[in-house]
A and B are shown apart, each in its own frame.
Chain A
Amino acid sequence: MAMTGILRPGHVQLRVMDIDEAVNHYCNYMGLIETDRDDQGRVYLKCWDEHDKFSIVLEPSDSSGMNHMAFKVRTEQDLWRFESNVKNFGVETKRIPAGELNGCGERVSFVAPGGHRFDLFAEKEMVGNGLPTTNPPPWPEDVVGMKAIRFDHCLLYGNDHDESVRFFVEALEFELTEQVVDGDVQIAAFLSCSTKAHDIAFIRHDEPGRLHHASFLLGSWEQVLRAADIISMKDIPLDVGPTRHGLTRGMTIYYFDPSGNRNEVFAEDSYRYPDSPLLTWTADNSGQAIFYHSRTLVDSFMGVTS
């Protein structure tokens, strides 16, 4: 059976304080491709192996952080079904007309219990991944920088953590894949709508609507080390890594964009099926859960959000 319902993270719209610096960071350093701009000054980007027109929208702003994250659903019927699910959960929805973001179909938009805005959409203009669909070569020759393959997930800090997780499981039909618990209290929840280790994650927090990081897939540990070289070469503010997570097993490095939004690039994490068991890490072992090698929590990683 193919995937149904919510397919994947479709895009994230990030607020940036200097659009030129942001475009330089995401395109020249991380290897994303600019596909459009609009009359609000927003810039549309995609990673090379994505077929849809954009997965990142950079929004000129006087602050940093996440405007919204959007998920792509399989069909228009799914869109209306999830709209109804969300309303039945008790969360207000509104519809955003097609074309409000260039090339994106009608969206169902809502603010989840943790204070983050999410949108769902079924249609987005496809521009392809730069490779032919008949006898395709393995990669395009003109990708630069870290060569990010796709926008993969976001990790968010929000209040009302338990309700956030229940909302994603009950209304949006995600499955809990991994968690960190302190006794009966869940501190972190990793949720998947696919066969990925996670498509979104939440950390218990007291302030609503914060972005911890937007994450991008790379092809290998060697590519993560190469990203680390680029981070130093280009004077990008490093947060943590390169290292491995216990959670999801991903090989990873964290750094910040020029507006202070944290990015991750990672490779070689785990996968799941609908019958995979829930993995649990205990709070007394959270150092190892988060950074498997150093087994030490890093203040900036734990405490800095945008």
Chain B
Amino acid sequence: MPAHTITILDTNEQYSCNESQHLLAGMVQLGKKGIPVGCRGGGCGVCKVQITSGSYQSKKMSRARVTRDEEENDTVLACRVFPQSDIQLKVLGHLNKVVKAV
């Protein structure tokens, strides 16, 4: 299975991800960090990234979290993106500290 190099431009972190893995699975498996990890099912939106270079295939992601326009402009959820080449990306999502008082 071909493996590709994923570069998180925000931190310059790089890791290897093969074509059958989504971008978060590759990252987590190697103990790397940089993209927030949430539901890994395209539902919660915390792993939103902007793909700045590279090609990929993607699976369905929640319209409540990624608009059609965003998806067409390579703003996607990392957990639904399977690399077809080396990829560079910027992190857009974040984990809200929802319980602010804590």
Q: What is the interface of chain A, defined by CB distance below 8 A to chain B?
A: 17-18, 62-65, 157, 182, 185, 187-188, 203-206, 237, 256-262, 283, 286, 297, 299-300, 302-306
Contacts and interface: CB of A to CB of B under 8 A. Distances in A.
10 contacts: A63-B63, A64-B42, A256-B43, A260-B62, A261-B41, A286-B102, A303-B96, A303-B98, A304-B46, A305-B44
Contacts of B44: 64, 260, 304-306
Interface of B: 36-44, 46, 60-65, 95-99, 101-102
Contacts of A157: 98
B99 A187 contact: yes
Interface of chain B: mostly helix, strand, loop or mixed: loop
Contact of B102 (A63, A182, A205, A261): A182
A63 B62 contact: yes
B64 A63 contact: yes
A205 B41 contact: no
A187 to B, nearest CB: 6
Given A187-B99, A299-B95, A304-B95, A237 B60 contact: no
A186 to B, nearest CB: 10
A138 B70 CA distance: 53
A262 B41 CA distance: 10
A205 B99 CA distance: 7
